[in-house]
Structure 1
Amino acid sequence: MDLTDNSCPRCANCVETCLHVVRDCGWVEGIWEELGVDVLQGSGCGEVREWAEAVFRGSDMRECGVFMTGCWAIWEKRNKVLFDEGEWRGDEVVRRTREILWEMEGAIEGREKGGGRKTQEDGGGRWERPGAGWCKINVDAGVAEGMGTGIGVVCRDELGSVHWGVAVQEERVVSSDVAEALAILQGLKEAKLIWNSFCRAREWRKG
């Protein structure tokens, strides 16, 4: 695959942007339909964050979880095909999304029953929720010539509920290690902003 070509490698109809990858490409229509998420909400939005906010406003907590997990699985599949020369199979994305959701639910169920985190050997998931009253931040990054570096950050609590998420697109192309480091840095920056806002609000209430 020619990494200098910034057209969509699936439909080849237009330039591949982050929004095109997860919403506008015809290849993902069947994926969202199978997952039962109405991604046409906010279809007029031109930015990923604006579109996600529109979907969140019209969805319940479970649908928001499916939506965010589906976006991640689509992006993961895109990177695997682009760099590992796999196949564009929507059914694999749907299955991957459901597996991740099942893993999260299994980890939560195991903790609620007093069994702690379920391991892969136990048939459980890889995601371990934080302790009560804490949140966990997960980050990911992807790199492609002609598109730059994409960074994703998501914050979830001990129930697996999403508190906030951030997507950042940079024009520069870096190595995968540097991209992961940038994602971690972005996660720390966002966490600091949230914490500072919390501290200011607490001081305001005291005053």
Structure 2
Amino acid sequence: MEEGEAVGGGRDEQERRGEGRNEGWAKPCLGEVKLNVDVCVRDEEGLGLGVVCRNDRGMIRWAITVQRREWLEPREVESKAMLMGLKETARRGHMRIVMESDCQVLVEAVKHRSFGGSDFHLILDDMP
């Protein structure tokens, strides 16, 4: 996808069509970018990691996909995708970042700055 390409119409279009206000993707606040991460685990093919970064108008700034031949726990894969996105976001100079993941374990661990000695926690320790 190209920089500046709109996806899914966004919250304003949903509200005009009378769709639910709390459903679906929501734009970040003015001046922020939003990272959405997702992964897929395929038995024989390994892992697929994806990150999409959108601006405060819902326009795609950049996207990354990576396929790896390794097998990890789902929370580890999600955390690697988030770390990959955060590193790219920092490299591009974005300062105000909102992160979104469907991995509740990752969301709670980041929110509460979870500590531990597992591989998952070591990945979390690398996040800015």
TM-score (norm 1): 0.39
Does residue 142 in structure 1 map to residue 40 in structure 2? yes
For 1:91-110, list aligned pairs within 5 A.
101=8, 104-105=9-10, 107-109=11-13
- The residue that corresponds to 2:82 in the other structure is 184
How many pairs are equivalent? 91
SS of equivalent to 1:195: coil
Larger Rg: 1
The separation in 2 between residues aligned to 1:61 and 1:194, in whole angstroms, is 18
Deviation per CA, 1:14-45, whole angstroms, max 9, x where unpaired?
Answer: xxxxxxxxxxxxxxxxxxxxxxxxxxxxxxxx
Percent identity between the two aligned chains: 30
Deviation at 1:128, TM superposition (A): 1.6
Using CA pairs under 8 Å that are at least 6 residues apart, name the structure with larger relative contact order, 1 or 2: 2
1:170 to 55, 68, 71: 68
Q: Which 4+ residue blocks in structure 1 deviate beyond 6 angstroms?
A: none
Counterpart CA distance in 1 for 2:42 and 2:87 is: 24
Instruction: Give the root-mean-square deviation of aligned CA atoms.
Output: 2.8
What is the rounded CA distance, in whole Å, between the counterparts of 1:162 and 1:109 in structure 2? 17
Aligned counterparts, 1:47-126, within 5 A: 56=2, 61-62=5-6, 65=7, 101=8, 104-105=9-10, 107-109=11-13, 118-119=21-22, 125-126=23-24
**In 2, distance between residues paired with 1:147 and 1:110?**
37
Unpaired runs of at least 5, structure 1: 1-51, 66-100, 120-124, 197-207
Matches of 2:52 and 2:34 in 1, distance apart?
8
